[in-house]
Amino acid sequence: MKLNAHVVIAGGRGFLGRNLAADLVCRGASVAVLSRTREADFPAEQYIWDGQHQGPWTGAFASDRPVHLVNLAGERVDKRNTAQNIAELTDSRVRTTRTLAEATAKGSKLATWIQSSTTAIFSDAGETELTESSPIPTGEQALPEMTGVAAAWEKAFTQAQVNAKHRYILRTSLVMHPDAPLLGPLNLLANTGLGGKLGHGKQWFSWIGMEDWLHVIRCLLRLEAPEIPDGIVHATAPNPLRNEEVMTALRSLAGMPGVPTGSLIPTVGAAVMGTNARVILTGRKATSTVLRDAGFEFKELDFAATVGR
């Protein structure tokens, strides 16, 4: 069945955006992506923008179908933990959100605006069970590259004049798929026998399979059931894992034994690769009461099957 929807994806050429664009196009939706460069043979219409200034790219919102916006735009998070990088991560997300709000303020009301965020807004939360109603950490508990970036991102959305009938803040956990970017360094450790566990191994790993994440998006766009109420939504599976469980699954897929890695190797490796080891050494036990109460049914609950297919 052809979906009666026109979906604009800001940041539509990243890992999540390109999977979302392909999924919606295959289902008959009209899709336009906003990106900084054009890619040959991309499955959706492309508009060039810089995330700061108004321009011809605003034509992406012109359609005779109901128009939806999914804002995924922002610098990649896998950068070294420096003040400059944190500022760039924050500014890129705040600026693009404000630019999109300005572009859509005077036109017809959007059917839906989905504002991307992350469960990393809770920083390193230990054993605390985190749902949509959990408080955001403050003070020393709020890591600047996690809570600092995500809280500013969400604030830019809530303070903007969002011209949309339905509005969501979608806090996405780690989206798992055989091609997921995070699996690269984790599989490297598993394949070399260093994937026993990372750090103490007890940190929580909240995740969601790609197919389930795409289903969440379609539900928020009201293209599929169940209908999910406006507000904050956690895109995360109901069964978070311990880090040591994740590494056990990856070692099993690789057919390798593993020794405990501690925090030194991930930290040094992250420095060499120009990324941030806290991404894998911190953890959050996040789940979604909103999806549960709406009757959302997850299809990908087996982590090994999700990443190994």
The CATH number given to whatever domain includes residue 233 is 3.40.50.720
> Considering the domain boundaries, does residue 278 fall inside one?
no
Decide if 96 is inside a domain.
Answer: yes
Q: How far apart are alpha carbons 256 and 273 in whole angstroms?
A: 23
- Would you say residue 232 lies in a domain? yes
Does 269 have pLDDT greater than 50? no
Average pLDDT, stretch 27-48? 94
Instruction: Please determine, for residue 114, whether its predicted confidence score (pLDDT) is greater than 60.
Output: yes
Tell me whether residue 223 is in a domain: yes
pTM of this prediction exceeds 0.75? yes
Q: What is the pLDDT of residue 254?
A: 81
pLDDT range class, residue 251, cuts 50, 70, 90: confident
pLDDT score at 79: 61
Q: Is the pLDDT of residue 277 over 70?
A: no
pLDDT tens across 280-308, in order? Answer: 778 999 999 999 999 999 999 999 999 98
Is 78 a member of any domain?
Answer: yes
Is 66 inside any structural domain?
A: yes
What's the mean pLDDT in 131-154? 94
Q: How does the average pLDDT of the chain come out, rounded?
A: 89
- Model confidence at 270: pLDDT above 80: no
Domain of 76? Answer: 6-177+206-240+285-302
| pLDDT band, very low/low/confident/very high, at 124 (cuts 50, 70, 90) | very high
Look at residue 221 and tell me if it is in a domain.
Answer: yes
Residue 253 belongs to some domain of the structure: no
What total of structural domains would you count in the chain?
Answer: 1
What is the model's pLDDT at position 90?
Answer: 83
